[in-house]
């Protein structure tokens, strides 16, 4: 899409190289043109314009620190882009890395094989009886101190398609929230939404084997939706079409249509729990931000 919305007009003597690179890391399509003594930064959507303006305001105020060095093209030095991405979105990339590292724990499930590490990550611990594994209750797990199980199922994925689909959304939404709210806030949101997602799935569907980052993705989605509307000057810039698509996907999941289509068993409770948690954190963060600015 051609960048046609005038987002910023800045004096021509200001070096926008680092800021332009930052917009590229955020995935914002943009271009810069010169008009007399000014340079104009153009984007392709109103959401992108809002995110660009809020980012530049943070850049000018010192809340956003960028490097002004002129690197070699990314195609020649990919390590530079990776290093800058790690510096800008450490929590988002940490989540992606952990999921990639732990992906092999689900290998062998189709043959009924449970590795020791998988048994530590699943939501409910198991007990063996007459050669079979049985889930204990959530109350038993929590009373024994195994509280990590509230969120570790997010590291279990059932196939490459499941993993890639979730991690693409984590990257797309997570880095925007990390940019707007900070790295620690993103991690807190992930832990809370994952716990809410897993508990909701358990209460709706009972003891079963489930996992993945989809509950977290819906948590990120809910947080972004409320935050961007309460604090539009620091919007995540996520297009409205994304919210519509994901909410429609959630509703379709509860109808059973997706299951009937042969796309696998959908953890609808997980999606709902994550979304509600994200809506709550987005409301809290947005109201606090408005109170501080007011």
Q: Which residues are annotated as catalytic?
A: 214, 271
Q: For residue 117, count CB atoms less than 10 angstroms from its CB and return exposed for 0-12, middle for 13-18, buried for 19 or more.
A: exposed
Instruction: Evaluate the CA torsion angle 32, 35, 36, 38 in order and state its sign.
Output: negative
Residue 125 in tokens? 């611990």
Q: How many CA atoms lie within 13 A of 69 on its CB side?
A: 7
Are residues 7 and 49 in contact, defined by beta-carbon separation less than 8 angstroms?
yes
DSSP helix/strand/coil, 5: strand
Let me know: does 277 contact 225? Beta carbons within 8 Å: no
């Amino acid at each position: 899409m051609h960048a046609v919305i005038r987002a910023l007009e800045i004096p021509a003597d200001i070096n926008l190289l680092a800021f332009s690179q930052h917009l590229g890391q955020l995935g914002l399509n943009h271009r810069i043109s010169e008009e007399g003594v000014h340079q104009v930064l153009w984007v392709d959507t109103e959401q992108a314009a809002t995110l660009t303006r809020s980012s530049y305001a943070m850049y000018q105020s010192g809340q956003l620190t960028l490097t002004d060095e002129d690197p070699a093209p990314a195609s020649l030095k990919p390590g530079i882009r990776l290093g800058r991405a790690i510096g800008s979105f450490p929590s988002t990339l940490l989540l992606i890395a952990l999921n990639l590292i732990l992906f092999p724990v689900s290998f062998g499930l189709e043959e009924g094989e449970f590795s020791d590490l998988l048994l530590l990550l699943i939501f409910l611990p198991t007990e063996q009886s007459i050669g079979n594994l049985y889930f204990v209750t959530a109350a038993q797990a929590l009373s024994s101190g195994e509280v990590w199980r509230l969120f570790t199922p997010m590291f279990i994925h059932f196939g490459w398609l499941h993993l890639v689909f979730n991690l693409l959304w984590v990257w797309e939404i997570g880095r925007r929230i990390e940019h707007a709210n900070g790295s620690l806030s993103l991690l807190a949101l992930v832990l809370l939404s994952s716990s809410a997602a897993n508990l909701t799935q358990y209460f709706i569907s009972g003891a079963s084997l489930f996992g993945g980052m989809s509950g977290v993705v819906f948590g990120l989605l809910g947080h972004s939706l409320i935050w961007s509307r309460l604090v539009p000057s620091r919007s995540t810039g996520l297009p409205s079409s994304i919210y519509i698509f994901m909410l429609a996907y959630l509703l379709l999941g509860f109808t059973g249509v997706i299951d009937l289509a042969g796309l696998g068993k959908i953890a609808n409770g997980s999606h709902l729990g994550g979304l509600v948690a994200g809506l709550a954190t987005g409301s809290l963060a947005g109201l606090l931000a408005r109170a501080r600015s007011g």
